[in-house]
């Protein structure tokens, strides 16, 4: 930005010309679709809104806010990340917005409508600093909304919530922006609460969240294309990190190799904090510091996922830093792999959501007894202390109803065994942490393992670790 200021000073370019030029470029293209041609189409989001409308009871209004802007420190914000439910229903990636969906048409400004969205206005001065906005007309054109109002016009064109008996609201959390600014998220939250109080309306969120969960737990074909892309990017990164792994590297260097591929292949972000834990850190479930040096006898547990156009992968592989599994590492690893395969086998239509978890736990409990690490199966929770599966999609822990497994659901299957130093077992097992995780699509037939292309047997991993990689040249 400093260079731009200098250039303007030298050439005396009038600021208004810069703003007009920027306006002419940005007014023709939506921010989130300007560069990428494989975003979800507006018809997908329209269909999601219609499906949600059908799940609302009579005389019901659903309200979903965009995410607030998150401050990093002082005048620096984190890169904006949209609320997944709001994105799912709108396709809009901008802040300071709120969506209303009505169970039946209602009169608004002389027209009958069944949905309404308030958005932030175009602001050329701010767009020069922070990027293009769609504005009212852009949201109409690109996202195919018929009724779009500037958030600044809320008081002049308030939402017709008085026409409904029940108002279901998903409020944003942790708003840190200054209050009172017209059109801001904070002001719209305040306005809605004031309107609800004045109208004496029932306000709830539980049934709305259940309705959204029931929709989001079943992935449409358009979603599956993006999810598979996220998985494929993740597999490429993990594969190269496995090849490059060697003693003397750091956990963050292994992380950097994986995340290089995320960016190289078009992923916008990691889907969650990347876990790259070795030795004792392999036994910390959500370890994200990633600063330790890799030592020859360590296991390295890498749990990472690329996010692509909002959809995230979630894959874990565990490898021996020196390229060869010890006998103890082999025993634990093969037990986890056996448990994972048993869990995947249960990931079929009609089974309970917990069936893969129970199958994996049964295998691990029996195996730990056989290895002499525990004396009774019920003690296995000491070393396998989490569930095997969760939903996956727009969030790494995606919402769902946790009922019977249905075609279109994507879940993880990720058993693990973690034996930290000081555990009540033979020291030879200490600091062995193993997790194996794949992303699994429930189908009408057998489970489809979306991440199956990345090796996970001991033989295949040891062979992969001997293969050359361009990262061998980096010192």
- pLDDT (tens digit, 9 = 90+) per residue, 118-154? 999 999 999 999 899 999 999 999 999 999 999 999 9
Report domain extents, the chain.
Answer: 2-214, 220-473
Alpha carbons 224 and 99: distance in angstroms, whole number: 25
Q: Which residue spans within 88-197 are E strands per DSSP?
A: 98-108, 111-119, 148-150, 166-170
Summarize pLDDT for 14-46 with one digit per residue, the tens.
Answer: 343 333 333 333 333 334 457 899 999 999 999
The span from the CA of 296 to the CA of 301, in Å, is: 14
Quote the tokens at residue 304. 């990472």
Query: Is residue 182 classed as helix, strand or coil in its secondary structure?
Result: coil
Q: What is the pTM of this model?
A: 0.91
Assigned fold of 220-473: Creatine Amidinohydrolase (3.90.230)
Measured at the CA of 157, the angle between CA 153 and CA 161, to 5 degrees, comes to 125
Nearest in space to 120 (alpha carbons), one of 141, 134, 130: 134
CATH number for 2-214: choose from 3.30.420.10, 3.30.56.10, 3.40.350.10, 3.40.50.720: 3.40.350.10
Poorest-pLDDT segment among 28-37, 148-157, 266-275, 403-412: 28-37
Q: Quick check: helix, strand or coil at residue 108?
A: strand
Name residues whose C-beta falls within 8 Å of residue 11's C-beta, 6 or more positions apart in sequence: none
Q: Are 343 and 353 in contact (CB under 8 A)?
A: no
Cβ(101)–Cβ(114) under 8 Å?
yes
pLDDT at 198 over 90: no
Please give the residue that has the higher pLDDT: either 320 or 78: 320
User: What is the rounded radius of gyration, in angstroms, for the C-alpha atoms of the chain?
Assistant: 26
- Rounded to whole angstroms, the maximal C-alpha distance in the chain is 80
Question: Per-residue pLDDT for 109 more than 60?
Answer: yes
- Residue 206: what pLDDT? 76
Secondary structure of residue 172 in the 3-state scheme: coil
Could you give the angle at the alpha carbon of 395 between the alpha carbons of 392 and 399, nearest 5°?
70
pLDDT at 180: 65
Q: pLDDT by residue (tens digit) across 161-186? A: 999 999 999 999 877 776 668 889 99
Q: Three-state SS across 366-412?
A: HHHHHCCCCCCHHHHHHCCCCCCCCECCCCCCCCCCCCCCCCCCEEE
Hunting for tokens 């360590």 — which residue is that? Answer: 298
- Between CA 425 and CA 432, with CA 426 as vertex, the angle to 5 degrees is 85
């Amino acid at each position: 930005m400093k260079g731009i200021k200098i250039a303007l000073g030298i050439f005396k370019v009038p600021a208004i010309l810069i703003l007009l030029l920027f306006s002419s470029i940005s007014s023709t293209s939506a921010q989130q679709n300007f560069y990428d041609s494989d975003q979800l189409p507006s018809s997908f989001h329209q269909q999601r809104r219609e499906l949600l409308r059908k799940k609302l009871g009579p005389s019901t209004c659903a309200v979903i806010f965009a995410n607030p802007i998150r401050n990093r420190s002082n005048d620096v914000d984190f890169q904006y990340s949209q609320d997944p439910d709001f994105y799912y229903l709108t396709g809009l990636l901008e802040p300071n917005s709120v969506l209303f969906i009505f169970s039946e048409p209602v009169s608004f400004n002389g027209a009958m409508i069944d949905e309404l969205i308030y958005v932030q206005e175009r602001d050329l001065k701010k767009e020069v600093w922070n990027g293009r906005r769609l504005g009212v007309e852009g949201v109409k054109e690109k996202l195919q909304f018929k009724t779009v109002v500037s958030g600044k016009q809320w008081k002049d064109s308030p939402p017709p919530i008085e026409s409904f008996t029940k108002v279901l609201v998903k409020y944003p959390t942790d708003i840190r922006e200054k209050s009172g600014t017209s059109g801001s998220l904070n002001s719209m939250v305040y306005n809605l609460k004031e309107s609800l109080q004045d109208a004496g309306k029932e306000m709830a969120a539980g049934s709305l969240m259940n309705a959204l969960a029931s929709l989001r737990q079943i992935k449409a074909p358009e979603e599956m294309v993006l999810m598979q892309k996220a998985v494929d990017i993740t597999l490429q990164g993990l594969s190269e990190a496995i090849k490059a792994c060697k003693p003397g590297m750091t956990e963050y260097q292994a992380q950097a190799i994986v995340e290089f591929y995320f960016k190289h292949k078009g992923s916008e972000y990691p889907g969650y904090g990347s876990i790259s834990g070795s030795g004792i850190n392999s036994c910390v479930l959500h370890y994200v510091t990633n600063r330790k040096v890799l030592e020859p006898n360590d296991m390295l547990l890498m749990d990472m996922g690329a996010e692509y156009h909002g959809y995230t992968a979630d894959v874990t592989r565990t490898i021996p830093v020196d390229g060869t599994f010890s006998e103890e590492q082999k025993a634990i690893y093969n037990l986890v792999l056996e448990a994972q395969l048993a869990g995947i086998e249960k990931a079929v239509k009609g089974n309970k959501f917990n069936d893969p978890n129970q199958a994996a736990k049964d295998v691990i409990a029996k195996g730990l007894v056989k290895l002499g690490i525990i004396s009774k199966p019920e003690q296995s929770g000491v070393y396998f202390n989490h569930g095997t599966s969760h939903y996956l999609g727009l969030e790494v822990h995606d919402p769902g109803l946790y009922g019977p497994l249905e075609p279109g659901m994507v879940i993880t299957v990720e058993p693990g065994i973690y034996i930290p130093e000081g555990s009540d077992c033979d020291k030879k097992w200490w600091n062995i942490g193993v997790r194996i995780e794949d992303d699994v699509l429930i189908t009408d037939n057998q489970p489809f393992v979306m991440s199956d292309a990345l090796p996970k047997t001991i033989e295949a991993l040891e062979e992969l670790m001997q293969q050359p990689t361009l990262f061998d040249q980096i010192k």
